[in-house]
Amino acid sequence: MELSGQVASSPFSAMEQLKCVKSEEEVEKQKSTKGGWKIMPFILGNQSCANLALTSLHANLVVFLTSEYHTDELTAAKIATIWGGTNLLSPLVGAFIADSYLGRFLNKAAIIKKEDFEENGSEPSPWKLCTVKKIQELKSVINVLPIWSTGIVASFILMGTSHTYMVYQAQHMNRNLGSLKVPASSYSIFSMLATSISLPFHDRILPSFFCRLRKKSEGISVMERIGIGLIVSVQAMTVAALVEVKRKRSSKISAFWLAPQYTLIGLAEAFYAIGLIEFFYDQFPKNLTSTAGALILCGMGIGLLLNSVVFTLVHKFTGKNGKKAWLPQDLDQGHLEYYFCFSAGLGVLNFLYFLVCAKGVKNRDSWEENKGGKMVPSA
């Protein structure tokens, strides 16, 4: 291993240091024999169950608060988004522990500490001495932050409204299905079905279609997947606004009119989430995969928390001077369609911001110069 700076003062010979350090190539070789595509069904199954649980809890929470505790719809929506956002922020703590303390022990052996070559054996300061690998890990995080930030607005648009005011929409519509009355929170199943059914389409049909269309072998890129997801999210909010206008004109409209907007939300989440996950796992080092996944959930959580703030501001400013607020207690007296249009406009701005960010993203190979544990003193 190549050292710079104070190598000459090391109390150990170069041969002894090499015996104590396990090469990263050998570590990567060992890791490559584990996991792989054989574990993908378990990962997808676990993720599907987690999404089902989160969506069901979130949608039913607003119904429970309004029906059992007689909370007004605005307050219930804010409570639900705060709860959901806080819940999605928590994995970041677990990921930090997993990546920093519980995994990659052999990988840590490749880092030569400062006391290895200082006679007094004092504890090294990470602000004065670090490995190039650590610098590359920081670069990987900085490199994905612009694209990551687009997920905050995407989650604000897709998750915040679908789990709150779209549930209220269903409560004010005809939910009868023969002799049964469908619960208002159950219509979000169209979103989950759209996401699940479209997965084979993303994996097989879509790439081959783009290969034939472009007459190239690469198919559809990660950035294109993310961009399509952002566009579809705008379409979902536009359809939701049109359905709301129709709902206010007819009190007996079937709640199954919500199926198109929920389906578009599911498709948008599939395009965006798959693209974002693929992008993160491609950009992050292997020893930060837990952090990569948690950072995605963190962006979703911030988007949900942002909903609670926006709900309050929209209700406050649109209800001034005796005007009807967009988000009142009684949806028939408000303008929920305006809020959906506002969300669609925000989605357009987010897409334009994404186009700018996508141009500035660097490929990992372009800035990853050293994959070893070379020591770099900062002063």
Domain containing 237 — which CATH number?
A: 1.20.1250.20
Distance CA 141, CA 280 (A): 9
Question: Is 157 among the domain residues?
Answer: yes
Question: Is 18 among the domain residues?
Answer: no
Helix or strand or coil: residue 191?
A: helix
In this predicted model, what pLDDT tens digit does every residue of 40-92 receive, in sequence order? Answer: 566 666 666 777 777 778 788 888 998 888 888 889 989 988 988 888 887 77
Question: Is 351 among the domain residues?
Answer: yes
The residues, ordered by sequence, that sit 6+ positions from 259 with a Cβ below 8 Å of its Cβ are 187, 190
Question: Is 215 among the domain residues?
Answer: yes
Residue 10, pLDDT > 80, answer no
Please answer whether residues 169 and 261 qualify as being in contact, where contact means their C-beta atoms are separated by less than 8 angstroms: no
pLDDT of residue 170: 92
Please answer whether residues 76 and 65 qualify as being in contact, where contact means their C-beta atoms are separated by less than 8 angstroms: yes
Token pair, residue 8, equals 């000459």
Helix or strand or coil: residue 294?
A: helix
The dihedral through the CA atoms of 348, 351, 352, 353 has a sign that is: positive
Between 361 and 262, residue with greater pLDDT: 262
Domain containing 149 equals: 44-110+128-377
Please answer whether residues 302 and 61 qualify as being in contact, where contact means their C-beta atoms are separated by less than 8 angstroms: no
Which of 114-118, 167-171, 239-243 shows the highest mean pLDDT?
A: 239-243
CA of residue 114 relative to chain centroid, distance: 37
Question: Is 14 among the domain residues?
Answer: no
- Alpha-carbon Rg for the chain, nearest whole angstrom, is 25
Token pair, residue 183, equals 């619960």
Strand partners, 180: 177
Q: CA torsion 54→56→59→60, rounded to 10°?
A: -120
Residue 9, pLDDT > 50, answer no
The secondary structure of 8-54 as a DSSP string is GG-SS-HHHHHHHS--HHHHHHHHTTS-SGGGHHHHHHHHHHHHHHH
Token pair, residue 110, equals 């490749």
Where residue 236 falls among pLDDT bands split at 50, 70, 90? Answer: very high
Give helix then strand counts, H and E, for the chain: 15, 4
- pTM here is 0.76
Where residue 112 falls among pLDDT bands split at 50, 70, 90? Answer: low
Question: Is 261 among the domain residues?
Answer: yes
Please answer whether residues 59 and 188 qualify as being in contact, where contact means their C-beta atoms are separated by less than 8 angstroms: yes
Question: Is 3 among the domain residues?
Answer: no
Residue 317: burial class (beta carbons within 10 Å; 0-12, 13-18, 19+): exposed
Work out how many domains the chain is built from and give that number.
1
